[in-house]
Amino acid sequence: MKMGTRAGAFLGAVALAAGLVAPASANEDPVKIGFMATMSGPPGVLGKHLYDGFRLGLEKAGNEMGGRPVEVILVDDELKPDYAVTKAQELISRDQVDFVTGLIFSNILMAVFRPITESETFVIGANAGTSTIAGRRCSPYFFSVSWQNDQVHEVMGKYAADNNLERVFLLAPNYQAGRDAVSGFERHFKGEVVDTVYTPLNNLDFSAELARIASAEPDAVFTFMPGGMGVNLVKQFRQAGLADKVKFLSAFTVDEATMVATQDDALGLFGSSQWAMDLDNAANKEFFENFLAAYDYLPSHYAAQGYDAALLIASAVNAVGGDLSDKDAVREALKAADFSSVRGDFSFNTNHFPVQDFYLTQAVKNDDGQYVMSAVEKVFDDYGDVYAADCRM
Amino acid sequence: MAPAEAVSPSTLSERPSLLRAGVLSPLLFIAAFALLPLVVAGGDGAFLLTIAARIMIFALAALSLDLILGYGAMVSFGHAAFIGIGAYVIGISAEHFLEDLALTLPLALFICAAFGLLMGAVSVRTSGIQFIMITLALSQMAYFGATSLARYGGDDGLTLWSRSTVFGSSILENDVAFYYAVVVALALCYGLCALIVRSRFGRVLSGIRQSDKRMSALGYPVDRYRLVAFVIAGAICGVSGVLLANLTEFVSPAYMSWGRSADLIIILVIGGIGRLHGALWGALILLGLEDAIPFVFKDVLAPLFPADGESIGASLHAASLTIAQNWKVVLGPILILVALYARGGIVGVFSTRKDGS
Amino acid sequence: MDMTLLLVQLLNGLQLGVLLFLVAAGLTLVFGIMDFINLAHGVQYMLGAYLGVVFFGATGNVLLTIPLVLLGSFIIAVVLEHLVFRRLYRADHLSQVLATVGILLFVTELIEIIFGTQLYQLPVPQALDWAIPITDTLQYPVYRIAVIVVGLILAAGLWLAVARTRVGALVRAGASDAPMVAALGVDIERLFLFVFAVGGMLAGFAGLVAAPIVAVESHMGDQILILCFVVIVIGGIGSIQGAFMGALIVAMVDTLGRTFTTDIMKTILAPSAADTVGPALASMLIYLLMAVVLFWRPRGLFPAKG
C-alpha cells in the first residue's frame, strides 16, 4: 500500500517531466488559447458558464480560425493568486499559447496580468475589469470583452438618480470589488446614502444587515453580492418581508446562475447588465437557442461574455489569415472588434475596454417558466469608462 | 514521560557521520534543484523553474515550521501569516519606492520576528489544541488586517511592477538568477536550521518537547526557550514570503489564509516531522501532486480511451477528464493513506529505523 | 428604533448560536472522549444539507425528509468511523489532522463531481413561511424562530441525556478520564462510535435546517467548522454545557459585532476610516475573544476534565 502510493506519485512526476520535453507536433499547428478561470468550489459555477459560452463561441466559429484548428487549454486557477501565476507561466512558456482568456476574479486577473502581458501574449479578459488595468496600467496586450467594474454599478446609480430614489442604503462585501461597487454607484447618484454597510466576505447570514435596512426605511437598497452571498441575501431579503417595501437594485447579484437557487424569491428584483437574454438582435437569439440546446441550462451574462470572447478572437485571427507573428496586426484586428456581439453595439475604447450599452434588468419568470433577467430599459448608450483618460498606450 | 532509551529524531542527527540520510537527503534535494536549470535550459523550461521555485519556497516555509512543530512540539496553525507578512513588506515597500533587498529583507525579517514575538508571547504558555487555536486566531487577525488594507489593494492584492533589486542591481529580473537566489536562500536557511537544532539551544528545545516538566525542574526557563524558537521560525518563514512575492510579483491576503497554514502542516506530516529534510520532500510531494494528478488523468489516462461513442471506453475517458478537473478527489485518499500507513512521513518510510516519537 | 434592532439581532444571534451548538456538540464530545481532532466534521453539516435537497426533491414532503436525512447522516458517520476514524484513535493529533483533511477534500470534491458547482436551495416549509411584524417595516421570519425553538429543545434533551442517563454518565466519564473508563470494562470504542454517529447526525440536522436560510454548496461546512472549533475551545473541550455557552457567546459576539462595530468606530474615527477598520475588526472579534479567553482560562470557560 505504501509502495503503491509512493510509486504512483513518482510515476506521475516522471510522466510529467517526459510530457514536458516532448516536442509539439507541427503538422497543422493549432491556434492555442489558454482558458483560465475558477472552475472548482462554489465560484466554479461562474467559470462553467463562462467556459460553456466560450466553447459555444468556438463552435460558432467552426472550431477553426484563419484556416487553423483551435486548441483550448483549460486551467482552473482555484482562486489562488500564486497558483494562478504558476499556471500562467505554464501557459506562456510550455504551451506557448497565442491568447489567454477567461479570468473571472479581479485578484486572479491582477496576479497574472503582468507576467502574461509582458510575455507579449494577448489577454482577452472575459469578466473582471479592474480600474488599474483600465487606467494607468493599461496594456497594449490586454482587451476586455466584459466591462470595467465601475460601469455596471454606475448604471444603478444613474437609474436611482433618474427615478428620484432619494434615500438609498448601500450594502457590499468588505473587499476591493465591494468598495469599487460603492464608489461606482455614488458617481451618478445624487440623493442621500442613508448608510453604507460592508459585510465580511463570504457572509452567510444577512439578518443583521436586513434589520438595519428595515429600521432605516430607505427608498431602495443597492447591493453587490456575487455568487452564494447573493443567493443568501436574496432569500433572506424576501423572508424578512423587505422585497415588497424596498426597491432592490443590484449588480452581479441576481442572474441566471443564482436564480437556480433563489427561484421565486428573486422575482421583481433589479439588476444591471450589458446583456440580457431578451435583447433583440439576431446574434443573441442564435446564441440563446444554441446554448440551451447544447448545455440544457439557461445562459447568464457570464456565458454571453465567454461567447463574445471566442468570437472576438476568431474575428482577429481570421482577419490576419491565421498569421499571429505580427503582433501589431493582431492588435489592430482585435481592436476592430469585427464580430456580431450578442449585446448588439460593441466597440473598443482607447483603453481596450468596451464602449457599449447598459440596461436595467429585472428578474422575471418567462412564458416557459424559466427564471431570467429581462432588459427593462436602456440606462446608458455607447458608454465608456472613466479610467480610459488615464490610459497611455 | 519518555523512556530514557527512546531516541528522538533530532538526537539522531547528532552522530557525526556524513553518509546518513539526515545529511545526504537534503544535499540530494538541493543539488537536484540546483541542477534543474541546466537540464531544462531554454524557453520551454521557464515554467518548470517557476514550479520548482514555488516548491522550494514552500519547503522553506515548512522547514521553519518544523523548527517549532517538530523540535518544539508547538503545532502552529497560523504559520502562513509569516509568509504573508514577509510578502507584504516587499509589496508595501515597493509601493513607496523602496525596492532594494538590502533594506527590505532585514525589514521583513524584523517585522516577522516582531509578529513572532507577539504571537509567541500569547501562545507559548499553552499547548495542544489551545496552542493550535491561538495561533490560528492571530493569523486570522493578520489575514483580516491585510484584507482591510484598501490602500494596498485590500482583498485584490498588490501587483509588484518589478522584482526587488539587490544593492541597486536588478539581476533578479533574470528568471534563472532569481531561481538560484531561491536555491541559495533555501540552502542557507536549511544550514541555519540544522545548526540551530544541533546547538545547545536546539537540544534544550528537544528536551522541552519530550518533557517540559523535567526541563523546567532542571531550571530551564521553558517558555522563554519556546518563545525564542517561535521568533526565529517566524523570521525564517518571512524569507519565504519575500521570495514568494518576488516569484509571483504579486502579494495577496490569500498567502496567509488558514488553508495555507494547514498546507504547511500537511507538508510536514507527509514529509516527516522533526527531521528538517522531511519539509523538503513533503513540499515536493504535495505541490508535485497538485500538478501530477491532473496531468496523469488528463494527458496520460484519458487519451488511452476513445473520446466518442457509447462504449465503456468513452465513459472512462470522460471519467478521467472529470477526475483531472476535480483532482483533489484523488489527493484526499492519498492523504488518508499516508496518515494510516506512513506514520513518520515519507522520510520515515525510507529510513530503516523505527520512529522514536 | 435602536432597541428593535438590538432585539432582532439578539434573536439572530440566538438562531446562529443554536446552529453552531448542533454542529459543535459532536465535535466537542469526540474530541473530549477520544482526544480526536476531526476536521471532517463540517462535511457532515454540508452533507446534511445536500441530503435534504435530494430527499426533499424525491419526496416533496418535509416530514419525510427530516427522518431520512437523520438516518442518512447517521449511516455516513458510521461508515466514516469504520473506514478511517477507528484506525486513528491512538495516532497523534497530526495524523488525525492529515486523515480528516483527506476526508474533507475527498467528500467535497465528490459532491462537486456529483452535483456540480451550482448552488442549491431548500424552500422554507410552507407552514413556517410567514413572518411576524415587529414594527411597520420590520418583520421576523417564523422559520428562524422555529429553528431557535427546535435547537433549544435539542440542546436541553442532549444535556439531559448526558447528565441523567447511563450512557450519558459514561460519556461524561469518558470525557474526563477515558483510560479509566476503559479499565472499568466499558467498550470505549463502541461508546465512541455511538457518540460519533450521534454527533454526525446532529451536524447533518443542522445542515438541513440551515439550508432554507443559506445557499447549499460544497464548501458550506468549512466556515462552520472553524467557528465550531472556536466554540468548543472557548467553552471547554468535552463539555456539552461549554459547547452551548460557547456557541451562544460566539454567535452573539459575531452578530452584534458585525452590526455595531462600525458604528462604534465612527464615534472614534473619521467615517471613511471607520468603514475600513470596522468590518475588519468585526471579522476579527471572535478570534480576539478566543485569544483573550484562552489567555485567562487556557482550558476554556467550562472545562470538562476535573
Contact list in B for residue C89 (CB cut-off 8 A) is none
Are B66 and B345 in contact, with CB atoms under 8 Å apart? no
Q: Cβ atoms within 10 A of the Cβ of A382, count? A: 12
Instruction: Report phi then psi at A169, rounded to 5.
Output: -105, 125
Sign of CA dihedral C189, C195, C196, C201: positive
Report pLDDT for A311. 96
Confidence of residue A355 (pLDDT cuts 50, 70, 90): very high
- CA-based torsion, B93, B98, B100, B105: positive or negative: negative
pLDDT at res. B355 = 42
In the three-class reduction of DSSP (H, G, I as helix; E, B as strand; rest coil), residue C143 is classed as helix
Q: What span, in angstroms and rounded, lies between the C-alpha atoms of C85 and A319?
A: 61
Bridge pairing between strands B158-159 and A192-199: unpaired
At residue C217, the 3 state secondary structure works out as: coil
Determine the distance from the C-alpha atom of residue B201 to the mean position of all C-alpha atoms in its chain, rounded to a whole number. Answer: 22
Residues of chain A with C-beta less than 8 angstroms from the C-beta of C16: 205
pTM of the model: 0.87
**pLDDT tens for residues B8-66?**
444 444 444 444 667 888 999 999 999 998 888 665 677 888 889 999 999 999 999 99
pLDDT in tens, B64-92: 999 999 999 899 999 999 999 999 999 99
For residue B247, pLDDT over 80 is answered with yes
Please state, in angstroms and rounded to a whole number, the distance separating the CA atoms of residues A377 and A392: 34
Q: Of the candidates B137, B269, B327, which has its C-beta nearest C290's C-beta?
A: B137
Residue indicated by cell numbers 507579449: A120
Q: Tens digits of per-residue pLDDT, A129-153?
A: 988 899 988 999 999 999 999 999 9
8 Å CB contact of A232 and C258: no
Decide if C290 and B258 are in contact by the 8 Å CB cutoff: no
Q: What is chain B's Cα-based Rg?
A: 21
Angle at Cα B34 formed by Cα B32 and Cα B38, nearest 5°? 95
Mean pLDDT value across residues A359-366: 94
Residue A16: predicted pLDDT: 44
Q: What is the pLDDT of residues A35-48, one digit of tens each?
A: 999 988 788 889 99
Q: Chain C residue closest to A264 (CA)?
A: C123
Query: CA A366 to CA A374: how far, in whole Å?
Result: 9
Measured in whole angstroms, how far is the alpha carbon of residue B123 from the centre of its chain? 21
Indicate if the pLDDT at residue B7 is higher than 60.
Answer: no
Q: Is A127 exposed, middle or buried (0-12, 13-18, 19+ CB in 10 A)?
A: buried
Lowest mean pLDDT among C32-41, C74-83, C152-161, C228-237: C32-41
Number of Cβ pairs closer than 8 Å across A and C?
A: 130
Statement: residue B330 has pLDDT above 80: yes
Average pLDDT for residues B83-105, to the nearest whole number? 95
Residue B85 vs residue B324, higher pLDDT: B85
| pLDDT tens digit sequence for C204-227 | 999 999 999 888 989 899 889 999
pLDDT above 70: percentage of residues in chain B? 91
Contacts 24+ apart (CB under 8 A), C60-67: C62/C125, C65/C208, C66/C205, C66/C208
Q: Helix or strand or coil: residue B15?
A: coil
Residue C110 DSSP SS3: helix
**Quick one: average pLDDT of B269-282?**
93
Q: Which residues of A touch C217 (CB under 8 A)?
A: 42, 228
What pLDDT does residue C121 have? 83
- C255 CA: distance to closest CA in chain A (Å): 7
The strand ranges marked E within B144-292 are 158-159, 250-251
User: Within the 192-211 window of chain A, which residues sit less than 8 Å (CB to CB) from chain B?
Assistant: 201
Interval A255-272 mean pLDDT: 91
- Contact between residue A123 and residue A353 where contact means Cβ atoms under 8 Å apart: no
Contact C215 A235 (CB under 8 A): yes
What CA–CA distance (Å, rounded) separates B142 from B119?
A: 11
A217 near C CB under 8 A: yes
Locate the DSSP E strands across chain B: 158-159, 250-251
Instruction: Choose among B133, B322, B335: nearest Cβ to C229.
Output: B133
